[in-house]
Chains A and B, each alone.
Chain A
Amino acid sequence: MELAIQTRGLVKTFRGVEAVRGIDLEVQRNTIFGFLGPNGAGKTTTIKLLLGLVRPTQGTATVFGQDIGRDTLEIRRRVGYLAQDPRYYEHMTARETLRFTARFFFKTGAPLDRRIQQTLELVGLADRADRPIRGFSGGERQRLGIAQAQINHPDLLILDEPAASLDPMGRRDVLAVMANLREHTTIFYSTHILDDVQRVSDTVAIMHQGKLVAQASIGELLSGRKGETTYTIAISGETGDARSRIDAFPWIARIEESAENGGMRWLVHTTDAAAAEATLLRSILASERVTVTAFGKQTHDLEDVFLRVVEEADNAA
Chain B
Amino acid sequence: MQRDPALVAVPVSGWRTGFLNMLEKEHGVWWRTKRWAVHLILWVIVSNGFLLLVNFGDGGPKADFRAPGNFSEIMEVFFRACSLFATVGVITVTQSVMVSEKQLGTMAWLLTKPISRPAVVLSKLLASIYVVLLLMVVIPAVLVCVQTRLVWGEWPRHPGFLIGLGLISLSHIFYVALTVMLGTMFTRRGPVSGVAFGFLFAGLILPNFAPKWLVSATPWPLAAIAAAFANGQKIPPGWYAPAIATAVLIVVCVAVSLWRFEREEF
Contact = CB atoms under 8 A, between A and B. Distances in A.
B58 interface: no
A46 B232 CA distance: 64
A92 B104 CA distance: 15
Contacts of B208: none
A105 B106 contact: no
Given A104-B113, A105-B10, A87 B105 contact: yes
Contact of A51 (B33, B105, B112, B116): B112
Interface residues of A, number: 40
A48 B108 CA distance: 9
B29 A115 contact: no
B124 to A, nearest CB: 13
A179 B152 CA distance: 76
B112 A81 contact: yes
B122 to A, nearest CB: 15
B142 interface: no
Nearest to B108: A53
A171 interface: no
Interface stretch (A69-77, A268-276, A307-315): A69-77
Contacts of A111: 4, 6-8
A114 interface: yes
A147 to B, nearest CB: 12
A49 to B, nearest CB: 10
Given A73-B116, A118-B1, A85 B17 contact: no
Interface in A102-149: 103-107, 109-112, 114-115, 118, 122
Given A88-B106, A111-B6, A114-B4, A55 B115 contact: no
Contact of A87 (B8, B24, B106, B113): B106
Interface in B107-146: 108-109, 111-116
Contact of A53 (B3, B28, B112): B112
Contact of B1 (A101, A105, A122): A122
Which applies to chain B's interface (DSSP): helix, strand, loop or mixed? loop
B266 interface: yes
A38 interface: no
A73 B29 contact: no
Contact of B114 (A77, A100, A110): A77
A170 interface: no
Contact of B109 (A83, A92, A105, A153): A83
A153 B3 contact: yes
Most chain A CB within 10 A, of B3, B4, B7, B17, is at: B7
Contact of B25 (A73, A74, A89, A105): A89
A86 interface: yes
A254 interface: no
B112 A73 contact: no
Contacts of A79: 112
A243 interface: no
A104 B18 contact: yes
Interface in A39-73: 48, 51-55, 73
Contacts of B111: 51-53
Q: Chain B interface residue count: which class?
A: 20 to 34
Contacts, number: 88
Interface string B242-266: 0000000000000000000000011
A76 to B, nearest CB: 5
A112 B7 contact: yes
A245 interface: no
B70 interface: no
Nearest to A119: B1
Contact of A106 (B1, B8, B28, B32): B8
Contacts of B105: 83, 85, 87
B25 A100 contact: yes
A103 B119 CA distance: 14
Contacts of B7: 106, 111-112, 115
Given A53-B111, A83-B105, A85-B105, A91 B32 contact: yes
B151 interface: no
Nearest to A83: B109
A91 B29 contact: yes
A125 B2 CA distance: 20
B12 interface: yes
A110 B8 CA distance: 11
B266 A77 contact: no
Nearest to B4: A111
Contacts of B114: 73-74, 76-77, 104-105
User: 8 shortest A-B CB distances, which residue pairs?
Assistant: A87-B105, A111-B6, A81-B112, A54-B265, A107-B8, A153-B3, A104-B113, A103-B21
Interface of A: 48, 51-55, 73-74, 76-77, 79, 81, 83, 85-89, 91-92, 96, 100-101, 103-107, 109-112, 114-115, 118, 122, 153, 180-181, 184
23 contacts: A51-B112, A52-B111, A53-B108, A53-B266, A73-B116, A74-B114, A76-B114, A83-B105, A88-B106, A91-B32, A96-B28, A104-B18, A104-B21, A104-B115, A105-B10, A106-B7, A106-B8, A106-B9, A107-B10, A111-B4, A112-B7, A114-B4, A115-B7
Interface of B: 1-4, 6-10, 12, 17-18, 21, 24-25, 28-29, 32-33, 104-106, 108-109, 111-116, 265-266
